Structure 1
Amino acid sequence: MRRVAVVAAGLIILVAAAAFSCAALRGASGPATPEEASRAYFRAWSDGDFSAMRRLVDDPPGDFADRHRALSHALRVDAVGFTPGPLVRHGDEASVDYGVTRHLTGIGDWSFRATLRLVRRDGAWRVVWSPATLHPALVDGGALALARPDAASGAPVAADGRPLPDDSGAQPYLADVGGRYGEDDGVPGWAVEVRNPGRPARQLKVFPGRGAEPVRTTIDRRAQAAADAAVGSASAALVAIRPSTGEIVAVSDRLPDAESAFQGLYPPGSTFKVVVAAALLEGGMTPASAVDCPAVTVAGQRTIHNHGGLALGRVALTDAFAESCNTTFAKLGVAAGTERIRQSAAAFGFGAHFDTGTDTAYSGDFLDPGGDNGLAEASIGQGRVQATPLAMAVVAAAVADGSYRPPRMVPAPLVHAGMARPLPSSAVDGLRSMMRAVATRGTAAHAGLPAGTAGKTGTAEYDAQGHTHAWFIGYRGDLAFAVFVLHGGDGGQVAGPVAARFLAVIKS
Structure 2
Amino acid sequence: MGGRGIGCLGAVLVLALGAGGFEAWRLTGRDEGGPEKTAASYFAAWSNGDLSKMRGLVSDPPADFASWHRSLTTGLSVMSVALTPQPVVRTGSDGARADFTVTRNLAGHGDWTFRSTLVLAKHGHRWRVRWTPGTLYPGLKELPTSWRLTAVHQPPAAFVAANGRPLPDGGSLDPYVSALDDAYGDTGDDETEDDTAWAVEVQQGNAPPQRLKVLGGHPTKRIRTTLDLRVQNAAERAVAASPSGKAAAIVAIRPSTGEILAVADRLGGRGAFVSSYPPGSTFKVVTAAALISKGLSPSSSADCPAVVVTAQRTIRNHEGSSVGNASLTDAFAQSCNTTFARLAVDRLGPGGLADAAKSYGFGAPVLTGAGGSYKDFPDVKPGADLAESAIGQGRVQATPLLMATVAAAVADGTWRPPRLLPASMLEPGDVRPPAPHDVPSADALRGMMRSVVTNGTAASAGLPAGTAGKTGTAEYDNSGASHAWFIGFKGDLAFSVFVLEGDSGPKVAAPLAATFLRSL
- Aligned-pair CA distance for 1:329: 0.7
CA distance in 2, matches of 1:151, 1:9: 32
Q: Which residue of structure 2 lines up, in the alignment, with residue 183 of structure 1?
A: 186
Q: Which residue of structure 1 lines up, in the alignment, with residue 439 of structure 2?
A: 423
**Aligned 8 A contact 2:302 2:326 in 1:** yes
**Aligned 8 A contact 1:349 1:364 in 2:** no
Q: Which residue of structure 2 lines up, in the alignment, with residue 149 of structure 1?
A: 152
- Aligned-pair CA distance for 1:162: 1.9
CA distance in 1, matches of 2:24, 2:322: 60
2:508 counterpart of 1:500: no
CA offset digits 1:386-406 (Å, max 9, x no partner)? 111111101000001111111
Q: Which residue of structure 1 lines up, in the alignment, with residue 108 of structure 2?
A: 106
Q: Which residue of structure 1 lines up, in the alignment, with residue 8 of structure 2?
A: none
Q: Helix, strand or coil for the counterpart of 1:293? A: coil
Q: 1:215 to 1:52 in 2, by over 3 A?
A: farther
**Aligned 8 A contact 1:20 1:43 in 2:** no
Q: Helix, strand or coil for the counterpart of 1:337? A: helix
**Aligned 8 A contact 1:154 1:208 in 2:** no
Q: Which residue of structure 2 lines up, in the alignment, with residue 487 of structure 1?
A: 501
CA offset digits 1:27-54 (Å, max 9, x no partner)? xxxxx84322211111232344445434
2:352 counterpart of 1:350: no
**Aligned 8 A contact 1:186 1:212 in 2:** no
The number of aligned residues is: 486
CA offset digits 1:130-157 (Å, max 9, x no partner)? 4332212434321222112124353432
Matching residue within 190, 211, 227 for 1:203: 211
**Aligned 8 A contact 2:109 2:216 in 1:** no
Q: Helix, strand or coil for the counterpart of 2:368? A: coil
**Aligned 8 A contact 1:157 1:217 in 2:** yes
Instruction: Calculate the aligned-residue CA RMSD, in Å.
Output: 2.5
CA distance in 2, matches of 1:197, 1:380: 33
CA offset digits 1:466-498 (Å, max 9, x no partner)? 222111100011110001111212211211111
Q: What is the TM-score of this pair, normalised by structure 1?
A: 0.89
Mapping of residues 163-242 of structure 1, within 5 Å: 163-183=166-186, 185-232=193-240, 233-242=245-254
Q: 1:21 to 1:153 in 2, by over 3 A?
A: farther
Q: Give the counterpart letter for 1:102 in structure 2.
A: R
**Aligned 8 A contact 2:311 2:384 in 1:** yes
Q: Which residue of structure 2 lines up, in the alignment, with residue 394 of structure 1?
A: 405
**Aligned 8 A contact 1:9 1:77 in 2:** no
Name the stretch that deviates more: 158-167 or 217-226: 158-167
Q: What is the TM-score of this pair, normalised by structure 2?
A: 0.87
Name the stretch that deviates more: 428-437 or 408-417: 408-417
CA distance in 1, matches of 2:486, 2:112: 32
**Aligned 8 A contact 1:156 1:175 in 2:** no
CA distance in 2, matches of 1:154, 1:455: 38
- Aligned-pair CA distance for 1:365: 4.0
CA distance in 1, matches of 2:392, 2:133: 33
Mapping of residues 31-42 of structure 1, within 5 Å: 33-42=34-43
Q: 1:105 to 1:153 in 2, by over 3 A?
A: farther
Q: 1:58 to 1:314 in 2, by over 3 A?
A: closer
CA distance in 2, matches of 1:219, 1:343: 31
Q: 1:199 to 1:66 in 2, by over 3 A?
A: closer
CA distance in 2, matches of 1:435, 1:491: 14
2:134 counterpart of 1:132: yes
Q: Which residue of structure 1 lines up, in the alignment, with residue 481 of structure 2?
A: 467
CA distance in 1, matches of 2:392, 2:56: 46
CA offset digits 1:277-333 (Å, max 9, x no partner)? 111111121111122122221221111122232222222211111111111111111
**Aligned 8 A contact 2:485 2:496 in 1:** yes
Q: Helix, strand or coil for the counterpart of 2:335? A: coil
2:450 counterpart of 1:436: yes
Q: Which residue of structure 2 lines up, in the alignment, with residue 28 of structure 1?
A: none
CA offset digits 1:191-236 (Å, max 9, x no partner)? 2111222111111112241254244321111111100111114311
Q: 1:42 to 1:403 in 2, by over 3 A?
A: same
Q: Give the counterpart letter for 2:76 in structure 1.
A: L
Report % sequence identity: 51
**Aligned 8 A contact 1:295 1:310 in 2:** yes
CA distance in 2, matches of 1:147, 1:51: 31
CA distance in 1, matches of 2:291, 2:257: 27
Q: Which residue of structure 1 lines up, in the alignment, with residue 28 of structure 2?
A: 19
CA distance in 1, matches of 2:339, 2:66: 57
Q: Which residue of structure 1 lines up, in the alignment, with residue 9 of structure 2?
A: none
Q: Give the counterpart letter for 2:437 in structure 1.
A: R
Unpaired runs of at least 5, structure 1: 1-7, 24-31
2:375 counterpart of 1:378: no
CA distance in 1, matches of 2:82, 2:196: 27
**Aligned 8 A contact 1:449 1:503 in 2:** yes
2:340 counterpart of 1:329: yes
Q: Which residue of structure 2 lines up, in the alignment, with residue 276 of structure 1?
A: 287
- Aligned-pair CA distance for 1:170: 2.1
**Aligned 8 A contact 1:239 1:251 in 2:** yes
Q: Which residue of structure 1 lines up, in the alignment, with residue 69 of structure 2?
A: 68
CA distance in 1, matches of 2:413, 2:264: 25
- Aligned-pair CA distance for 1:430: 0.5
Matching residue within 162, 182, 187 for 1:159: 162
Q: 1:153 to 1:12 in 2, by over 3 A?
A: farther
Q: Give the counterpart letter for 2:238 in structure 1.
A: A
Q: Helix, strand or coil for the counterpart of 2:170? A: coil
2:84 counterpart of 1:83: yes
